[in-house]
Amino acid sequence: MMMFKEFWVKKTLLGLGLGQFLSLLITSTGFSSSELAKKGINAPTSQSFLNYVLLAIVYGAIMLYRRKPLKAKWYYYVLLGMVDVEANFLVVKAYQYTPITSVMLLDCWSIPSVMLLTWVFLKTKYRFRKITGVVVCVAGLVMVVFSDVHAGDRAGGSNPRLGDVLVIAGSTLYAVSNVSEEFLVKNADRVELMAMLGFFGAIVSAIQISILERNELKSIHWSAGAALPFVGFSVAMFLFYSFVPVLLKTNGSTMLNLSLLTSDMWAVLIRIFAYHEKVDWMYFVAFAGVCVGLVIYSGGDKEEDQQCADVADEGAERSKHFDEEAASVSRGTTVTGSSKTGDSSKHEIVPASSTEGEVSDNKSIGKDVQGRKS
């Protein structure tokens, strides 16, 4: 029981710590995208292209060194690459129209999307408390949209409502990508997932860049101020993609999306201290609603984990009791045993003649008993 509890605590703490590291990474990508948007650079697919190339090179080299066949069908990775590229495209594009705070907070739309997808495809069951927590989070999302409309905030672009729609659409695709990655990392291999996602993601990104962003890239005046956000975005995304499968395998996609909610706090700090911008009061109400929903959801997690622990401990006690009973029965019915010296390879051999004698003696004793009763 103690070993299971210690494992659960370590696993949970590792998940929380890794989740916060990923939250900081996703905040840094948001900061880089916001900086590029302020410089008038509108190339969302190009920002993600280098990340996919790095994934393909690093993890592809590991796959070639292993020389192992694919554990999942290659066309699954093609579909995953397309979904992931478009999710990044929509969310990064949203920075042209809406503030960084709204993008970060609206990202949590992926939580109810993930829950729906895991319930339908992975057969994950959610209790009433979890559903209540998600409903409160969604209420916070609605407040964000009203916050942008109410404040008329144009700090992140010219059309915050369009940006909000883009973020919600991108978050839905992120949910599809996360659930697919959770399934593949648990049934295939993390290195294979990253290599194939990087390979097909790079191909899809290159095709999309040649169609949509070729002229945009030609018009960019490359300098340190323009190149650094590009490189910073790619490095942060590469680290994010590398560690996401670890959290998905140990804690699941819902835990990942819940952990990323704290990126909103970092986004507010960036907006206030780096950009010296004011945040509408409705945003704080929305953020408080999301936090309350997260607490409600997490409370349900702890309660269910404790129930699982109790069931596991009860099952272990029953199994132990059953083993003790089976051992006592086997000791009572054993005819031959190990020697007193403790050498289990040496057993006493009972001659056949002595066994037959014991059987005849038992029969005669039985007849004696019957004679006395009569």
- At residue 202, the pLDDT reads 96
Q: What is the C-alpha separation between 252 and 147, in angstroms, rounded?
A: 31
141 and 106 Cβ atoms separated by less than 8 Å: yes
pLDDT < 50 positions in the chain = 1-4, 6-7, 153-154, 156, 300-316, 318-319, 322-323, 326-327, 329-374
Kindly report the three-state secondary structure assignment for every residue of 11-37. Answer: HHHHHHHHHHHHHHHHHHHHHHHHHHH
* Cα-based distances in Å from 129 to 67, 132, 134, 289, 303: 46, 5, 9, 15, 10
- pLDDT tens sequence across 119-144: 888 777 777 777 787 788 777 767 76
- At residue 10, the pLDDT reads 66
The sign one gets for the Cα dihedral 156, 159, 161, 166 is negative
Q: What is the C-alpha separation between 140 and 290, in angstroms, rounded?
A: 5
Q: What is the end-to-end Cα distance of the chain in Å, rounded? A: 58
Residue 351, SS3 per DSSP = coil
Return the H-helix or E-strand segment holding 246.
Answer: helix 224-251
108 and 290 Cβ atoms separated by less than 8 Å: yes
- pLDDT tens sequence across 254-286: 677 777 766 766 677 777 777 677 777 777 777
